[in-house]
Amino acid sequence: MKRYVLIAGETSGDQYGSQLMEALKAINPESEFWGIGGEDMIGSGLNQFEDIHNMSVVGFSEVLRKIPKMLSLANRLSQFINEVKPDRVILIDFPGFNLSLAKKIKHLSTETKIDFFISPQIWAWNERRVKIIKKYINHMIVIFPFETSFYKKHGIKAHYVGHPYLDQWKPSTSKYLRKKLNLDSSKKIVGIFPGSRAQELEVHLPIYLKVAESFSKQKNVQCVIGLAPGFDKLKIESQFNLGDVKIIDDEPLKLLECCDVALVTSGTISLQATLMNTPCVVAYKLSRFSGYLSKLLMNVNFISMTNIVANKSIIPEFVQKEVNVKNLYSIISKLLNDEEYYKKMKLEMVSVKEVFADQNNVINNAAKLINK
């Protein structure tokens, strides 16, 4: 029997962790899984050590408030890992916690093998973390092609498998999806995606709803919220004045695929929009302190992976004070009404998608690397 400990701290990590567990079970049917995950990983057989919803935080000032709790959890978890002696520990993204945990695990036992699936974006900011990775991580499994050369430069073992979303997404026609989601096919759809973390939603959704209100007088435009897993639709409806804005919570990525334009909070979803060829606008707003520190530590000029991969501005980005109703309404209106600009963005998105074109069976390949 193979025993694995998997640690995911966010919604996307939970989804990919679940898929990875299924692939590992296909190789070793008697596998046993422990760790931290959400509904998807629990559904795949995870024995949960901590609720994933207690993990996610946004920004430096927000992280500072949770440091004591996170340190306590990392201490308890590393002790547990040392006792159960798993065949592998698999850390999925969530670098702030996972790299700290890796250090504690190795201090208790240098024999424990640690894989890191979905690399921290240390090439974008806080490159000092590469020293921690070199010292405490046995193997990096990366999802962007340029990451292998980055790690090779630092003498770190890394394999590129491609982006796991490529395994998950099966294209459908816009007409079919709109009918399935009960959306008016005669209207232009603006998809609103306020983020996968509670703090992100609380900051961004009020602004996005004011943008939606600005479109309310345009009879040919419908604004629809794509709610990430883990949020309570009824609670959101009672907490915010939604007006005539509809919420889709069961299949938000189907909304992303069939909407004309998406307004997204920066994260995995911006790259998913690109892979779907859905023109989008990226926004992100942190506390003033967190925003200031982020600006100091950033090594790249963009916040969305699409623009980072392309090394140029394809998707419009708005950060901090730029995240306001006037700016967002203006750029979305341009995408809805300027056909040339709209087509140009779609064409440039295709060039980014082609970077990942030769990769398939991403999760299965990751599972095979872990079992080597």
Residue 165 lies in a domain: no
Give the Cα separation of 357 and 275 in Å (integer).
10
Q: Which residues contact 323 (CB under 8 A, 6 or more apart)?
A: 204, 207, 283, 284, 285
* Paired sense of beta strands 158-160 and 139-142, if any: parallel
User: Same structural domain for residues 342 and 254?
Assistant: yes
Residue 365 lies in a domain: no
User: Same structural domain for residues 13 and 36?
Assistant: yes
Residue 366 lies in a domain: no
Q: Tokens 């996972």 map to which residue?
A: 98
Give the Cα separation of 146 and 269 in Å (integer).
20
CATH number of the domain within which 296 lies: 3.40.50.2000
Q: Where are the alpha helices (DSSP H) in 85-242?
A: 95-108, 129-136, 146-153, 165-168, 174-180, 198-215, 233-239
pLDDT, residue 65, reads 64
pLDDT, residue 67, reads 74
Residue 242 lies in a domain: yes
User: Same structural domain for residues 22 and 132?
Assistant: yes
Q: Tokens 């092609």 map to which residue?
A: 145
Domain end residue (candidates: 121, 136, 160): 160
Pick the more confident residue, 264 or 286.
264
**In the sheet where 317-319 sits, what is the strand order?**
246-248, 221-226, 188-193, 261-265, 280-284, 317-319
For the chain, the domain total comes to: 2
User: Same structural domain for residues 272 and 333?
Assistant: yes
Confidence of residue 5 (pLDDT cuts 50, 70, 90): very high
pTM of the entire predicted model = 0.84
Nearest to 112 by CA among 122, 102, 100, 121: 102
Residue 363 lies in a domain: no
Residue 360 carries which side chain, given as an amino acid letter? N
pLDDT, residue 96, reads 86
Give the Cα separation of 314 and 319 in Å (integer).
16
pLDDT, residue 159, reads 97
Other beta carbons within 10 Å of 346: 14
Q: Across all residues in the chain, what is the average pLDDT?
A: 90
User: Same structural domain for residues 182 and 155?
Assistant: no
pLDDT, residue 60, reads 44
What tokens does 278 get? 């859905």
User: Same structural domain for residues 198 and 332?
Assistant: yes
User: Same structural domain for residues 240 and 308?
Assistant: yes
- 145-168: b (≥16 Cβ within 10 Å) or e: eebbebbeeeebebbbbbbbbbbe
pLDDT, residue 290, reads 46
Residue 179 lies in a domain: yes
User: Same structural domain for residues 193 and 339?
Assistant: yes
pLDDT at 59 over 70: no
User: Same structural domain for residues 228 and 328?
Assistant: yes
Mean of the pLDDT values across residues 185-190? Answer: 96
pLDDT tens by residue, 118-175: 998 887 766 788 999 999 999 999 999 889 999 999 999 999 999 998 887 888 888 8
User: Same structural domain for residues 233 and 305?
Assistant: yes
Give the Cα separation of 203 and 206 in Å (integer).
7
User: Same structural domain for residues 201 and 150?
Assistant: no
Percent of the chain with pLDDT over 90: 73
Element (H, E) at 69: helix 60-84
- 181-211: b (≥16 Cβ within 10 Å) or e: bebeeebbbbbbbbbbbeebbebbbebbbeb
Find residue 158's DSSP bridge partners: 140
Confidence of residue 277 (pLDDT cuts 50, 70, 90): very high
Nearest to 78 by CA among 36, 124, 15, 128: 36
pLDDT at 297 over 60: no
User: Same structural domain for residues 143 and 185?
Assistant: no
The parent domain of residue 181 ranges over 174-356
In the chain, helix, strand, coil percent, each to 5?
A: 50, 15, 30
pLDDT, residue 296, reads 39
pLDDT, residue 21, reads 98
Residue 72 lies in a domain: yes
Residue 167 lies in a domain: no
